[in-house]
Each structure stands twice: as C-alpha cells, then as structure tokens.
Structure 1
Amino acid sequence: MENPLDPAELNAAMENVHRAGIPGLFAEVRDGDQVWRGAAGVADVATGRPVTADMRHRVGSITKTFTAAAVLQQVESGQIGLDTPISRYLPRLIPGERGDAITVRMLINHTSGLAEYLPYAYPSLKAFPALANTGPQSLDDNRFTRFDAGELIEMGVTAPAVGTPGGTPGVYSNTNYLLLGELLEQVTGTKADKYITQNVIERAGLRDTELPTEPYVDGPHSQMYEAWFGMIDPPRDYSVFDMSWVGPAASLISTVADLNRFFGMLLAGEIVSRSSLAQMQRTVPVISQEGKIIDYGLGLHPMQAPGHGTFWGHGGSAWGAGALAMTRADGKRQLSIAVNLQRWNSLDSSGKPKPHPIDDALAALYQVAMYGNSGDAPREAVTGHPTRSEAIRRSRR
C-alpha cells in the first residue's frame, strides 16, 4: 500500500505546483491519525498575501456528491425511488415519454441523455467544443446575474439530446443535478440548499461549508484567477460571482479539512447507509466534458493505481477556483487540494488545450499525497468533474 506521509516531500511537491504557474494552492492529507496541512504561493497576486491551509474556497462540482447523498437519504426513507421515472415527481419539467424513460438514477450518474445547459446560459460559450472560438465576455456580463433554476433546466431539456435514457456511455451534464435539486424540493417541501445544509453539511459537522446565497465568499479566502485558455491575460479574479447558475450542481464553498471530513464520513457509512454507499459506488462509463470516457457512480468517481487500492471522491471547478477530494475506500488515506487558477492551458491551432507544466506538477503532487511517491498515480484534473488522462480546464463544471 502507500508509504507514510512525508511532510518534506509534500511541501516540495506543493512548491513545484506553485513554481509551475499556480499562484496559490493549499491541501490537507490524512493517513490514519497523521494529518498534514500545507500551502504554497499567494492568495492575491497584487499584494502578495499568502494562501493558508484553512482558507474557504469554491469547490465546484464536488457539490454533486453532497447533492447525491441528500437524494440517497430520501431513497432510504422511501420518499424517492432510485429507479422511478422522474416524471413521477417532476412531470412539468420533463414531460411525456422522455420523463417516463429517465429515472432518478440516470440523473445522478449522467445517463439521462439530457444536454448541458451551460452554453445556452453563457452565450459566449456556445462554440463548445470549439474552444478557440469561445470568449470570456459572458463571465464578466453575468457576475451578478441571478439565474432561475427552472429556466436553466429548460435550456438543457429543450437542447438536442446527447444520448438515450439509460444508454452508455452517458454524458456529463449539470442539467441532471439541477433537476435533482428540484426533486429534493418537491419531495421534502424544503429548498434543496436548505435540505442539503441541514441533512448533509450539518450532519457531517462541517463548520466552514455552505451553499451560498450571495456572490461573496465569507471568511478567509483566496482570490480566484481565471485564465480562460490564455484569453484572459493576465488572469482575472472571479472570487465574487453569483453561483445561482449552478446551484446544487456546483456552488459549494468549503475547506480542505471539511472535504476530508465529509468524504471520510461518507465512505464510513455515516452520511448514507452502507447499502446506499454501495449504490453510489456502482459506476458506468460516462463521457466527461473533456471528451474522455470515465467511470462515474452516483456522485462519486474512482481513482485507482495498481497496488494502492481505490480512492473515491470528486473534482470541482468554478471560475478561477479548482478543487479535488479523494479518499481511499478504507477511509485511511485522504487528499483534498484547492488551487486558485483555472484553465491555464493555452490552445493549439486546432483549438485543443496544450500540455502545461502545471499538469505534470499536479500529477506528481497527487502521487506523493495519495501513494507516498511510489507507483504511478492517475492524472487527475482539478476540475468540475474527473478525467483520467488530461488536466484540461473547460467551462464551469
């Protein structure tokens, strides 16, 4: 299995990521009772204010694991059927035969066939996947826009389907998780953010984690720099941003310590039951927004390296902010990391992201943190969803 934590190696690996081009990053690594927390670089490139390991951060699509856990709690109570058609609960949002064909499970594991609404909400992103033809203007235009979840869902539902319900590989889509937020409200009579706060965040005892209702990050935090594939040069700070455009799909604010606590409790059967956890760990092939085939469960993604066991968790990205949280299946080894720069790769002549030294430096950090600098760690992006082979940043996950 992995080697014991080596603070010197971890500090060196963190510094290497900073030197490769990330302004600031911070992490917590756990190995049984041993805990290491570290930080490298700056939280503000203008003032030189340093990052610290206790900072609050936007963690993007790691939110999906929290939302999935909340839905599984309602499955356990009998209020939601995992393989029940979504039309049973939300006939207005997905009407007709389509709603009858899409089950709750298909929403959670991205096999619904529903398209991503993001390019329709952010007009300058409509050229996806032709990244070279996109631009960041919509980011500035919508800093304080309050989006309506129903309108965003309609964008995804009325867009051309990306697959057939239940077909594999599925296609990763935030539309699925906005629908899960509406589902939670329908069956509990409580807004999704409030339900998740009371039954997942507070149940786990997370003191620095929230689903924000304002565009600001409260408490100590870093600036969050978006490069948009070199089109924003120098990268701009987007730490102030209304996150209603992703809600229960990707709006969470947390700390690396809280993330490790949450995933540790989840894998110990303390957030959902062991049988529900087993359902969460049943994976299907899904096409990530990078176009790669990944294994995806119910809000969980596995990382594996021969001889080191399986780690479970999720990645996340907001404008300027990235995070990754992974916990080994036995709960004894954990990594949570946050970075304050996103989409640092420039584009080649065909519009594809070029390799960047940050990619290799992050892969080396994961290896040290998760496996003790032995064996080959999978390359994992600090983005809104997992990718096995390339650290590519695209639009908000």
Structure 2
Amino acid sequence: MRGQTRQGLRSPGGQQGGRWRRTLCAAAAVAIGVMTQGALAPPAASDSAVTPTAARPDAVQQSLNALVRDDGMPAALASVQDRNGRTRTYTAGVGDVATGSKVPKDGQVRIGSNTKTFTAVVVLQLVAEGKVGLDASVDTYLPGLVRGEGIDGRRITVRQLLQHTSGLPNYSNYLGDDVRYYAPRELLATALRHPADFPPGTRWKYSNTNYVLAGLIVQKVTGRPLGEELDRRIIKRIGLRHTYFPAPGDASIRERHPHGYYRESADARLRDITETDPSWGWAAGQMVSTSSDLNRFFTALLAGRLLPAAQLAQMRSTVPAEATFGSGSRYGLGLVSRPLPCGGLSWGHGGSFPGYETRGGATDDGRAAHVAVTMQLTDEAGRKNLERAADAALCR
C-alpha cells in the first residue's frame, strides 16, 4: 500500500493507498528490534539460475544492485518467470546487517497487501458457489455490525469492499505504535469510530478496513478461520510451498528469510523489525510468501486455475486508481492493472509491511516477476525505483 506517512499497510507500486501505521512502527522497532550500525555490504553476486553473460549485463540484477547501492536497501530479491515457465532468481545486498550473511535465495518475506488478492479470491470462490452475492449488502452476512457516522452496512456491498469504493475509513490510519495482537473486530471498531470518507459507490479510496470486513464475511459464511480457507482453497490447491497466513501470536518468519528493517531518517541506524505480530494486517496484509510463490499465485489466477471465468472477469473489471498506484493504474476486485513500459498490462497487487516491500505481477502471456526489498520505502524516488525494477523484470 502506499502512503505519505506510510504507517499501516501500504499499497504496492509506490503510490499511496492505505497508510503505514501512524509512526511506521518506530516505537515497535525499539521494543522488538535489534539496533544495528555500520555500512551495508556491497551487493551480492547474482543467484540467477542462469548466469548472465559479461557481454550483456542482466537488467534485473543491475536494478537490484541499484536498490542496494543507491536507495540504501539492506537486501533486494527477485524471481522472474518467462512465458515458458523458466525461472531465474536474483539477490543483492545482505540478509542480516548485523552478521553480513548472504541473502537467502527466494527467501520468505512479509507480503503486506498482496494478501488482499488472496482474500478476494476466496470471496469470489464463494460467489461462484452461490454462498456470497457480490451486490449483496454487508448486512446480509454481518447484520448490524457495520454502523457509524455516515456508515451503514445495509448500503455497502461486497463488491464495494473488494474494490475500495465503500467509503469506509482506513483503520490503520488510527492505530498506535504498540505491538500486540489485534482481533479483526477490534480493527473494525477502530475504523467505525471515524466518519465515512464518502457515500458508498461514489468514489474510490484505498482502505484496509474493506478487507477486514471481507475476511469476516469469509469466516461467517464458511464457519472456519480465514487462514484455514486461504490454505485449503489457494495455498494447497496450487502448491504454494512457502506461503502461509501466520497463526495468532506467531511473530516469526518460518523459513529462510532476509531480515527486515526500519530507518527513522536517512542518517538514523537501521532497526531490525523482522519479528513482529502481524495481526493488525489480518485479511488486508498478514501473509508471508516468497517472490516465486507470488509468481505462481498470480499466473495461476490469470490462467483461470483459481476462479471460474465469470468471477475472474469480475475481478478484472477495474476502476481508475492512479492516485494510489500510479499513472494508468486501475483497481479491480483485489487486483491491480498497471501499464508496462514494454507494452501490455501487468496484473498484480504489491504490498508493504514494516520491514518489507514487494512489487510485481503477471501478464496474460504467462510472464511473472516479483521484487522484494527489506526496508520500508518512505520516499517517492525509492518507490519508483522499486517499481522500475519490477517492470524491468517483467519486460526482460
């Protein structure tokens, strides 16, 4: 997600949409992080499956090196899949600033708002099963729950939740800096203490609150926890071996991963915020994955392996979202389209979470790429450079 104060879950791509937590978890970093000092190690050699030739430097590796060298990222990772399914993986920087250890190839990261696409897929699967109506009201499934100043769940539809046209205020703009477990309904209650941003269906504005409600609808309709539905309906179904929805209280990252960092200002020390309770992101941004698993997920989605044609078409029905995701970008139902510099569209989402940012997507001809960095980007130039790196990977 993106933001100017960038607290809370940010939208991918470099623009603003949903904001980071009010202080970008600065206080949290002090509480749970390890303060580190010193210069970053130079970019690591490429971990590409196919080594680029010296005569033709690899554009993806060059872009990752630049993110470390010029934008101060501790590490950058990428996985690039061509239209024939061949994959290259890349790394640059160091996986742990304190020890100088290598960046783990295709390591796990917190994927932030990419989680929204997973949540939207489950909702749309329920639509295909006749258990949820896209144009049914939120009150149909959660009667009486959504009420506030200018807010009425009888007038907000499921489609408006998934497309960010509900007008619901963004709870993550109002969270404090304490790191603890947040129940989903606590997140919703935080949002409902504030007035609606606009009447439902009249505008578009990114709000994490929409996806908390979408997750609550999934749980009400299925009678099972959201994490179980994500695992059963998506993760196991298409073989995402390194993707999961953390259980309550699980602050660690299970498999090999680069450490994630926060820097309060350009000249401040890096703070290690790898381990944190991600529950404040919940259905809007709690998941952990890898770049290669994200490639597999988005290519499977576009290929029709997760949704029937009718629901995939609804997901790809978009409205303008340039204010958040950049020039030419549009937002569907948990899915973002962005024009590529080499022509055509990229379909994906992107995400930010304290310590990590991811950008990328997939194309209709089977190409896919995701790039991750291990520090939150708080300046426009850094975000644009990350987006350019993702574009370079998709256009290579």
TM-score when scaled to structure 1? 0.80
1:90 partnered with 2:142: yes
CA RMSD, 1 decimal: 2.2
SS at match of 1:209: coil
Matched to 2:162, the amino acid is I
How many Å separate the matches in 1 of 2:255 and 2:154? 45
1:370 partnered with 2:382: no
How many Å separate the matches in 1 of 2:364 and 2:101? 37
How many Å separate the matches in 2 of 1:232 and 1:309? 40
SS at match of 1:342: coil
Q: 1:336 to 1:183 in 2, by over 3 A?
A: same
- Choose from 68, 75, 94 the match for 1:18: 68
Q: How far is the alpha carbon of 1:204 from its aligned partner?
A: 1.6
- Choose from 206, 217, 222 the match for 2:253: 217
1:190 partnered with 2:238: no
Q: How far is the alpha carbon of 1:287 from its aligned partner?
A: 7.2
Percent identity among equivalent residues?
38
1:27 partnered with 2:96: no
Q: 1:15 to 1:275 in 2, by over 3 A?
A: same
Q: How far is the alpha carbon of 1:305 from its aligned partner?
A: 3.1
How many Å separate the matches in 1 of 2:328 and 2:280? 26
How many Å separate the matches in 2 of 1:288 and 1:51? 34
Structure 1 residue runs without a partner (length 5+):
123-137, 346-354, 373-397
How many Å separate the matches in 2 of 1:187 and 1:244? 21
Instruction: Say whether the 8 Å CA contact 1:227–1:344 is kept in structure 2.
Output: no
- Choose from 55, 67, 76 the match for 2:107: 55
How many Å separate the matches in 2 of 1:200 and 1:147? 24
Q: Please give the residue correspondences for 1:215-364 in structure 2 after superposition, counting only pairs within 5 Å.
A: 215-228=251-264, 230=265, 233-286=268-321, 294-305=329-340, 308-330=343-365, 332-345=366-379, 355-356=380-381, 358-359=382-383, 361-364=385-388
1:203 partnered with 2:237: yes
SS at match of 1:14: helix
2:97 aligned residue: 45
Instruction: Say whether the 8 Å CA contact 1:172–1:288 is kept in structure 2.
Output: no
Q: Moved runs in structure 1, 4+ residues, more than 3 A?
A: 286-294, 358-361
Deviations 1:243-280 (A, max 9, x none): 11111110110011111111110000001112111111
Q: 1:94 to 1:247 in 2, by over 3 A?
A: same
SS at match of 2:286: coil
Matched to 1:36, the amino acid is R
How many Å separate the matches in 2 of 1:35 and 1:11? 14
SS at match of 2:231: helix
How many Å separate the matches in 2 of 1:279 and 1:44? 42
1:77 partnered with 2:90: no
Q: How far is the alpha carbon of 1:61 from its aligned partner?
A: 0.4
How many Å separate the matches in 2 of 1:232 and 1:204? 44
Deviations 1:195-222 (A, max 9, x none): 1111111112111100001011111111
SS at match of 2:174: helix
How many Å separate the matches in 1 of 2:136 and 2:183? 26
Q: How far is the alpha carbon of 1:320 from its aligned partner?
A: 1.1
1:391 aligned residue: none
Q: 1:232 to 1:242 in 2, by over 3 A?
A: farther
How many Å separate the matches in 2 of 1:176 and 1:39? 34
1:179 partnered with 2:213: yes
Instruction: Say whether the 8 Å CA contact 1:319–1:342 is kept in structure 2.
Output: yes
Matched to 2:60, the amino acid is L
Structure 2 residue runs without a partner (length 5+):
1-49, 53-57
Instruction: Say whether the 8 Å CA contact 1:39–1:51 is kept in structure 2.
Output: yes
2:158 aligned residue: 104
Matched to 1:174, the amino acid is N
Q: How far is the alpha carbon of 1:184 from its aligned partner?
A: 0.4
Q: How far is the alpha carbon of 1:360 from its aligned partner?
A: 5.3
Q: Please give the residue correspondences for 1:86-165 in structure 2 after superposition, counting only pairs within 5 Å.
A: 86-95=138-147, 98-122=152-176, 138=177, 141-142=178-179, 145-165=180-200
Q: Which moved more, 1:250-259 or 1:47-56?
A: 47-56
Instruction: Say whether the 8 Å CA contact 1:87–1:95 is kept in structure 2.
Output: no
Matched to 2:241, the amino acid is R
How many Å separate the matches in 2 of 1:6 and 1:106? 46
Matched to 2:125, the amino acid is Q
Instruction: Say whether the 8 Å CA contact 2:240–2:297 is kept in structure 1.
Output: yes
Instruction: Say whether the 8 Å CA contact 2:161–2:214 is kept in structure 1.
Output: yes
Instruction: Say whether the 8 Å CA contact 1:61–1:315 is kept in structure 2.
Output: yes
Instruction: Say whether the 8 Å CA contact 1:25–1:340 is kept in structure 2.
Output: yes
Q: How far is the alpha carbon of 1:46 from its aligned partner?
A: 1.2
SS at match of 2:96: coil
Instruction: Say whether the 8 Å CA contact 2:371–2:389 is kept in structure 1.
Output: no
Q: How far is the alpha carbon of 1:284 from its aligned partner?
A: 1.4
Instruction: Say whether the 8 Å CA contact 2:328–2:338 is kept in structure 1.
Output: no
How many Å separate the matches in 2 of 1:150 and 1:101? 20
